[in-house]
Structure 1
Amino acid sequence: MDTVPVAWTNATLEAIRRLGRAGKEQARLGPPHVARSFAVLHTCVYDAWAAYDQVAVGTSVQITCQPGSGESVKQRAISQAAYRALTDQFPTEAESFKTTLKVLGFTVSSSRDASTPEGVGNLAADAVIKHFRDDGANQAGDLTSGGAIYADYTGYAAANPPIDIEKTTRFGQISNPDHWQPLIFRDGAGTERTQSFLCPHWHKVRPFALASASQFRPPPPQELTSQGFIDQAKHLISIQEHLSLEQKVVSDYWSDGPKSVLPPGHWEEFGCFVSERDNHTLDQDVKMFFALSNALHDAAIATWDAKRHYDYVRPVTAIRSSFRGVTLKGWNGSQITDLPGQTWRPFQTPTSPTPPFAEYTSGHSAFSTASAEVLKRFTGSDVFNHSHTQVGPIRVEPNIDASGVRLAWDTFSEAAAQAGRSRLYGGIHFYEGNLSGITLGQKVGAQVWERARSYWEGRAPAPAHDAGSAESNPIPASTSSEKGKPMVCSSCSADPRDTIVGKLQAAGNFTSLLADMARTALWAKLQSDRAYTLFAPTDYAYAYAKEGYHLAAGGLQEVSPLPREGEALLQLLYSHLVPKKVPPSEVHKGREDIALDGMVLSFDLEGDITSLLSREPAAVRRLTDMFMVNLGPAHKPDGSAAHSAAEYDANVTAVIEASDGIIYVIDAVLLHPHSANS
């Protein structure tokens, strides 16, 4: 039998599918609602479990009972809490949850006696459900006069009138070309539907770990009058024109649209896979799903804050507006062909042409990267080793057999990167919305992880509300674990945590770079007494490049896949290393060239860089004064180029000082011409 959290997660996923297929409660089956429901479920489960743990602190209630109880007692408490949580979230499915409870060997109880596991479960559920009931989601409908559950109470109104996806968009139908526009479409029964913005009030929902919904709000997207606005549309048009069969399968697999478990459910399913793969104990599952579900919950809040704040245009509106009268290659609903710009449509099914909310930022990217961050930290590794093999056609092209196309993810980072990229293939997100969503998700995932861990390690303050006795459980000081300590040489004189390698390991999002370093001489090289400057690609930069893509000015470019071994890999890594420390203070205004293994690394400090991928988050801009790293050709003594220039750009997104040098975090892998040709 599954451990209890996995059993209840599967029951929740099935309930969501059933409700979606039946067309019930559609207003509550958006990604934010689903993420919140999982957070309610697993927080109830966690608080019930915490009552039996000698160290853990509850989130909403501290229940005093006998710690160290056996597995069966904890299962009874957890199952009662889970049943209560899910009947609160999905009341029309109460009978199916009662059946799940019976299958697990338990019965419904109304006890609030903390000496019984059922009483513990109910006390935990009471407190957590109450906490969520007044969180701003409007679950009860009491924040609006009409009483509709989860209804908007902030007065949002679309800046554009609806347009019919099946008809030519006429001049004047798009009054605000840089803002979201609702679409008119036909559902599966042929009934005409008009979109309304889903969850425009979600920035008002109370988060789990974030200081506020806007804590990690990204800088503004491309402005209507900028070249970048046109460039991002051109980039997407080009992607849609050249879609491969594999890219179409990627788009279809990750679509997670209406009547599915949506992106939060997708990553909950991945959590079930990890549980089964690693033979989790009950305690491990409680902790992992507690952190994972709250990362999804906070990712929804932060993402919808940006969506509501910027109210940014979807590609279908931007392209129909900007390319009116221009003949494009695009999807006409059945094939890629020549069509007028004012009829362009994304590579989506006609019943779900574009999600009913603003573009910036990408929810898929934020949900996926936040989840990947949590799963990496919980398992102590980025290793995923999961895959999907397509059976039959995809939904957008039901007449073309795509059987046998296999999507494989060696790491969580690769899966998250592909999830974000899938929205470009589907034509419903711009690249910058994807990239900002990735950054947002990474930050949310890291912060939620630390908050969740503080609860089960007993470092969080105990909740004010105790249950079961007048005294709360004593909370002993948490002990440090050997897990996660930096792997560095013992002969180094500096504190290992302060070295370049130690800093990379502590950051948690350089596992691919560290793995390559460990396979080559670069690891040993960094153990010397010399100071270095390292340009460090993140795991997400690696995930793109590993699949044969590179982040370049103007968008994704196809290049030779990364070398994985031997001299070519060593050459690739050395292309990121400068044999001296080059701090930001030494880079002067204008331009500074640094020799880098047969190339010249040029820092351009520019106040206004308009290319699509050159924009930095505001905080980074303040820190680094906006560096661009451009790979140009090295020169022979006679002034001629030693080799052709590599036309790639990478953004420096952070600067990390280390005792043995400095790290510039970059969002792309720098492909040295020699390694690229190997």
Structure 2
Amino acid sequence: MTSPVSRRDLLLAGGTIVAASAVGASTTAAATPNLRTHHGGRSGGGVVVAWNQTLLRILRTAGAQPATVHPTRSFAILHAAIHHAVTSSGRSYLLAHPAGAAVAAAAQAAHDVLVALYPAQAASLDRQLAADLATVEQRHAREAGIGVGRLAARRLLDLRRNDGSSATPSPLPAGTEPGQYRPAPPGFLPAVFTHWAHVTPFVVDRVDRFLPEAYPELSSRRYAAATNEVKRLGQDTSTSRTGDQTEQAHFWAAPIWNYWNEITQTVVLAEGKDLAETARIFAHLNLALADAVIAFYDAKYHYRVWRPITAIRLAGDDTNPATEADPAWNSLGTTPPDPAYPGAHSVISQTSATVLTAEFGRGHRLAVTSEVLPGVTRHFATFQAVADEAGLSRIYAGVHTRLDHYAGRKLGHDLARATLSRTTTG
């Protein structure tokens, strides 16, 4: 297991991290400039963004990601290694060659992590590394950076080697009582990531301290209101849901951590962040997201709350006179195969918004695109507005209630603040 001291060293990698100042430029979360021309100067973060894009590409390749390993683990290891390479071992030499050795270190660390995690992608990763190293003209700087990058990648991979992520997920028995989770239609797939709550966190010491408050009684007015809201707005044939709400449900249907990494890519490039700043920001974001996923699976499998489609179809069993069963009810979106409470989109989005607001300030005009709804761009004035819409979209998709959203939002905020506290103070 990874010790707290090792995790702290992994994060701080050579000194106290200082949050970035607030900015306010308008950005688009899918912009992809020619990163090969942006390794030096104020756009030195381009090398980090390029490797982040490579991981996104790998994750969008069918079969590339092991089904029982959560993708946020890969993002966290990748960016912790890059950050460690840029700011720790050998930093005095790297700082003497900021446009050379540091770029080589970042690229080598990223390459070695991704080759270790995705060996089938080695050929394309080798080509990307060669192109990055070719931009470092001074041989001594290039060789120094390569050595530092290799060491950083090896250290991070060693730290996470026995973190519990390779465990075989245990089958989850289907619930039999009202409110208890059971596989949901139409696929009735078995629960996923039942082992993930036992994965060693990256930053926080324990995730169970972020456990949401107990789920309300099924007989309560809160429960009835939340269930009836999703019944009305989340049905596949709903006439109460607006056109914009339907668009939101479809827009945010892809893996939510992908959106936030895309948003971060665009913001750091628009702001001209240098290599060290970009490495720090991506490390902050993705280490927090990795711990957030561990925390929300801990909560999901602690409470094991049924999904809306089950709750609505079986409402006759919930002892609440304010709910009414509809055995033929179907959701607009496909229900994920895990318990409802708290909502993952809400956890991930609030974690991201909290981290990015700390880095860039509250006000930031954003234009966000979706990998599942091409040609549509949605506009926001703050990171928090993005998070709120992403979380609430799951009600319109019919896969979560407002109870799940509120619990997820609180978990994400509290966990993000805890990780920021650890990574900015040591």
Q: TM-score, normalised by structure 1?
A: 0.51
- Structure 1 residue 177: Cα displacement: 2.7
**Is 1:36 aligned to 2:73, yes or no?**
yes
Question: Which residue matches 1:58?
Answer: none
- Which amino acid in structure 1 is aligned with residue 74 of structure 2? S
Q: 1:6 aligns with which of 49, 52, 55?
A: 49
Question: Which residue matches 2:130?
Answer: 102
- Does structure 2 retain, via aligned residues, the 8 Å contact 1:177–1:317? no
Alpha-carbon separation, structure 2, partners of 1:406 and 1:126: 40
> How many aligned residue pairs are there?
367
Question: Which residue matches 2:259?
Answer: 266
Alpha-carbon separation, structure 2, partners of 1:389 and 1:85: 28
- Structure 1 residue 156: Cα displacement: 4.3
Question: Which residue matches 1:68?
Answer: 95
Question: Which residue matches 2:58?
Answer: 15
**Is 1:158 aligned to 2:173, yes or no?**
yes
The SS at the match of 2:364 is: strand
| Post-superposition CA distance 1:66-123 (Å, at most 9, x none) | 352322110101111101111122222222222221332459xxxxx99722111111
Question: Which residue matches 1:660?
Answer: none
Unaligned stretches of 5+ in structure 2?
1-35, 39-45, 136-140, 318-323
- Does structure 2 retain, via aligned residues, the 8 Å contact 1:243–1:425? yes
Question: Which residue matches 1:363?
Answer: 344
- Which amino acid in structure 2 is aligned with residue 14 of structure 1? R
- Structure 1 residue 452: Cα displacement: 2.2
Q: 1:250 aligns with which of 230, 248, 264?
A: 248
- Structure 1 residue 238: Cα displacement: 2.2
- Does structure 1 retain, via aligned residues, the 8 Å contact 2:204–2:418? yes
- Structure 1 residue 228: Cα displacement: 3.2
Indicate how the Cα distance of structure 1 residues 114 and 135 shifts in structure 2: closer, same or farther if over 3 A, else same. farther
**Is 1:385 aligned to 2:347, yes or no?**
no
| Post-superposition CA distance 1:346-401 (Å, at most 9, x none) | 112xxxx211111100111111111111111111x12231124789xx87xxxxxx
- Does structure 2 retain, via aligned residues, the 8 Å contact 1:204–1:213? no
Alpha-carbon separation, structure 2, partners of 1:390 and 1:12: 17
Alpha-carbon separation, structure 2, partners of 1:290 and 1:177: 41
Alpha-carbon separation, structure 1, partners of 2:378 and 2:147: 45
**Is 1:376 aligned to 2:357, yes or no?**
yes
The alignment-based identity, stated in percent, is 28
Indicate how the Cα distance of structure 1 residues 86 and 389 shifts in structure 2: closer, same or farther if over 3 A, else same. closer
- Structure 1 residue 451: Cα displacement: 2.0
- Which amino acid in structure 2 is aligned with residue 279 of structure 1? G
- Does structure 2 retain, via aligned residues, the 8 Å contact 1:39–1:294? yes
Question: Which residue matches 1:82?
Answer: 110
Alpha-carbon separation, structure 2, partners of 1:63 and 1:127: 14
Indicate how the Cα distance of structure 1 residues 26 and 182 shifts in structure 2: closer, same or farther if over 3 A, else same. farther
Decide which structure has greater helix share.
2
Alpha-carbon separation, structure 2, partners of 1:18 and 1:215: 35
The SS at the match of 1:219 is: coil
- Which amino acid in structure 1 is aligned with residue 79 of structure 2? H
Indicate how the Cα distance of structure 1 residues 375 and 346 shifts in structure 2: closer, same or farther if over 3 A, else same. same
Question: Which residue matches 2:85?
Answer: 48
- Does structure 1 retain, via aligned residues, the 8 Å contact 2:104–2:132? no
The SS at the match of 1:251 is: helix
- Structure 1 residue 124: Cα displacement: 0.8
Alpha-carbon separation, structure 1, partners of 2:122 and 2:352: 28
- Does structure 2 retain, via aligned residues, the 8 Å contact 1:246–1:405? no
Alpha-carbon separation, structure 2, partners of 1:384 and 1:5: 22
The SS at the match of 1:343 is: coil
Question: Which residue matches 1:237?
Answer: 231
- Structure 1 residue 24: Cα displacement: 4.7
The 5-angstrom pairing of residues 426-445 of structure 1 reads 426-445=397-416
Q: 1:209 aligns with which of 181, 203, 210?
A: 203
- Which amino acid in structure 2 is aligned with residue 157 of structure 1? L
Alpha-carbon separation, structure 2, partners of 1:285 and 1:67: 16
- Structure 1 residue 208: Cα displacement: 2.4
Q: 1:294 aligns with which of 287, 301, 319?
A: 287
Indicate how the Cα distance of structure 1 residues 435 and 130 shifts in structure 2: closer, same or farther if over 3 A, else same. same
- Does structure 1 retain, via aligned residues, the 8 Å contact 2:174–2:183? no
Bigger RCO of structures 1 and 2 (CA < 8 A, at least 6 apart): 2
- Does structure 1 retain, via aligned residues, the 8 Å contact 2:68–2:193? no
- Structure 1 residue 213: Cα displacement: 1.4
The SS at the match of 2:67 is: helix
- Does structure 1 retain, via aligned residues, the 8 Å contact 2:107–2:133? no
Which has the greater radius of gyration? 1
- Structure 1 residue 236: Cα displacement: 1.1
**Is 1:423 aligned to 2:394, yes or no?**
yes
| Post-superposition CA distance 1:270-308 (Å, at most 9, x none) | 110111221111111011001011111111111111001
Alpha-carbon separation, structure 2, partners of 1:115 and 1:92: 26
**Is 1:321 aligned to 2:314, yes or no?**
yes
The SS at the match of 1:372 is: helix
**Is 1:27 aligned to 2:67, yes or no?**
yes
Question: Which residue matches 1:345?
Answer: 330
- Structure 1 residue 184: Cα displacement: 5.2
Alpha-carbon separation, structure 1, partners of 2:85 and 2:375: 44
- Does structure 2 retain, via aligned residues, the 8 Å contact 1:11–1:100? no
Alpha-carbon separation, structure 2, partners of 1:84 and 1:50: 17
Question: Which residue matches 2:153?
Answer: 125
Alpha-carbon separation, structure 1, partners of 2:119 and 2:393: 34
Q: TM-score, normalised by structure 2?
A: 0.80
- Does structure 2 retain, via aligned residues, the 8 Å contact 1:159–1:176? no
Alpha-carbon separation, structure 2, partners of 1:309 and 1:373: 25
- Structure 1 residue 25: Cα displacement: 4.2
The SS at the match of 2:365 is: strand
- Does structure 2 retain, via aligned residues, the 8 Å contact 1:372–1:413? yes
Decide which structure has greater strand share.
1
Indicate how the Cα distance of structure 1 residues 361 and 106 shifts in structure 2: closer, same or farther if over 3 A, else same. farther
- Which amino acid in structure 2 is aligned with residue 197 of structure 1? A
Alpha-carbon separation, structure 2, partners of 1:272 and 1:404: 19
* RMSD across aligned positions (CA): 2.6
The 5-angstrom pairing of residues 188-207 of structure 1 reads 194-207=188-201
- Does structure 2 retain, via aligned residues, the 8 Å contact 1:230–1:322? no
Question: Which residue matches 1:599?
Answer: none
Alpha-carbon separation, structure 2, partners of 1:447 and 1:358: 25
- Does structure 2 retain, via aligned residues, the 8 Å contact 1:303–1:366? yes
| Post-superposition CA distance 1:156-175 (Å, at most 9, x none) | 42324xxxxxxxxxxxxxx3
The SS at the match of 1:313 is: coil
Alpha-carbon separation, structure 2, partners of 1:4 and 1:25: 23
- Structure 1 residue 235: Cα displacement: 1.6
Indicate how the Cα distance of structure 1 residues 420 and 105 shifts in structure 2: closer, same or farther if over 3 A, else same. same
